Amino acid sequence: MKITPVLLLAMSLSVSPYASAYEVDSDHARKTLEIYQTIIEVDTSKAMGNTPRVARYLAGELIAAGIPSEDVEVVLLEDKAALIARYRGNGSSGERPILFLGHMDVVEANEADWERPPFKLTRDDVNFYARGTIDNKFGVAQLTSTFIRLKKEGFVPTRDLILVFSGDEESGMTTTRLLAYERPDLAEAEFALNSDAGGGDLDRNGNAITYNIQAAEKTYATWEITVRNPGGHSSRPRPDNAIYDLADAISRIQGYSFPVRYTDMTLAYFRETGSQLGGELGEAMIQFADDPQNEAAAERLSRESSYVGTTRTTCVVTMLRAGHAENALPQSATATVNCRIFPGVPASEIEQVLKDVVGNGQIEFSLLEEPTESPISELREDIVDAVSVAVHERYSEVELIAYMESGGTDGMHFRRAGIPTWAVSGIFMNPDEMYAHGLNERVPIAAFYGALDHWSTIIYQLAGPRSSMN
Question: What's 432's domain CATH number?
Answer: 3.40.630.10
Region 138-152 average pLDDT: 98
Q: Which residue has the higher pLDDT, 137 or 305?
A: 137
Whether 5 has a pLDDT exceeding 70, the answer reads: no
Sheet of 314-322, strand order: 314-322, 332-341, 219-228, 364-367
Residue ranges of the alpha helices (H) in 163-315?
A: 174-181, 184-187, 242-254, 264-277, 279-290, 295-302
Residue 209 lies inside a defined structural domain of this protein:
no
Rg value, the chain, Cα: 23
Whether 390 has a pLDDT exceeding 90, the answer reads: yes
Q: How many domains does the chain have?
A: 2
pLDDT, tens digit (0-9, with 9 covering 90-100), for 181-201: 999 999 999 999 999 999 999
Q: Print the domain residue range for 276.
A: 219-367
For residues 228 and 329, membership in a common domain is answered with yes
226: helix, strand or coil: strand
Q: What is the pLDDT, as a whole number, of residue 169? A: 97
Q: Contact, 86 vs 160, CB < 8 A?
A: yes
Cα(387)–Cα(383) distance, integer angstroms: 6
Q: In this structure, what are the phi and psi dihedrals at residue 366, rounded to the nearest 5 degrees?
A: -130, 115
For residues 429 and 289, membership in a common domain is answered with no
Q: Where are the beta strands (DSSP E) in 278-363?
A: 314-322, 328-329, 332-341
CATH of the domain at 241: 3.30.70.360
For residues 263 and 359, membership in a common domain is answered with yes
Pairing type for strands 199-202 and 122-123 reads: unpaired
- Average pLDDT of every residue of the chain: 92
Q: In this structure, what are the phi and psi dihedrals at residue 253, rounded to the nearest 5 degrees?
A: -65, -45
For residues 11 and 143, membership in a common domain is answered with yes
Residue 393 lies inside a defined structural domain of this protein:
no
Residue 390 lies inside a defined structural domain of this protein:
no
Position 467 confidence tier, pLDDT thresholds 50, 70, 90: low
Cis peptide before 229 (omega within 30 of 0): no
Whether 295 has a pLDDT exceeding 90, the answer reads: yes
Cα(369)–Cα(447) distance, integer angstroms: 36
How buried is residue 435: exposed, middle or buried, by Cβ count under 10 Å (0-12/13-18/19+)?
middle
Q: Contact, 401 vs 213, CB < 8 A?
A: yes
For residues 227 and 353, membership in a common domain is answered with yes
Cα(60)–Cα(66) distance, integer angstroms: 10
For residues 223 and 352, membership in a common domain is answered with yes
225: helix, strand or coil: strand
Q: Provide the percentage of residues in the chain whose pLDDT is more than 90.
A: 86
Whether 214 has a pLDDT exceeding 50, the answer reads: yes
Residue 385 lies inside a defined structural domain of this protein:
no
Cα(66)–Cα(307) distance, integer angstroms: 43
Residue 210 lies inside a defined structural domain of this protein:
no
309-312, long-range: CB < 8 A, 24+ apart? 309/218, 309/340, 309/406, 309/407, 310/266, 310/269, 310/270, 310/403, 310/404, 310/406, 311/260, 311/261, 311/262, 311/266, 312/257, 312/258, 312/259, 312/260, 312/261, 312/342
Residue 454 lies inside a defined structural domain of this protein:
yes
Closest CA to 452 of 390, 368, 400: 390
23: helix, strand or coil: helix
Q: What is the pLDDT, as a whole number, of residue 24? A: 65
For residues 232 and 354, membership in a common domain is answered with yes
Q: What is the pLDDT, as a whole number, of residue 95? A: 98
pTM for this entry? 0.85
Region 152-180 average pLDDT: 97
Segment among 80-89, 101-110, 133-142, 338-347 with least mean pLDDT: 338-347
DSSP string, 117-142: -TTS-EE-SSEEESTTTTTTHHHHHH
Cα(332)–Cα(218) distance, integer angstroms: 31
How many Cβ atoms sit within 10 Å of the Cβ of residue 236? 7
Q: Which residue has the higher pLDDT, 370 or 64?
A: 64
Position 170 confidence tier, pLDDT thresholds 50, 70, 90: very high
Cβ partners under 8 Å of residue 399, min gap 6: 210, 211, 272, 276
For residues 141 and 254, membership in a common domain is answered with no
For residues 227 and 333, membership in a common domain is answered with yes
Residue 179 lies inside a defined structural domain of this protein:
yes
Size (the chain), residues: 470
Position 343 confidence tier, pLDDT thresholds 50, 70, 90: confident
Q: What is the pLDDT, as a whole number, of residue 194? A: 98
Q: What is the pLDDT, as a whole number, of residue 357? A: 98
Residues β-bridged to residue 165: 83, 102
Residue 379 lies inside a defined structural domain of this protein:
no
Closest CA to 335 of 398, 253, 417: 253
How many Cβ atoms sit within 10 Å of the Cβ of residue 301? 24
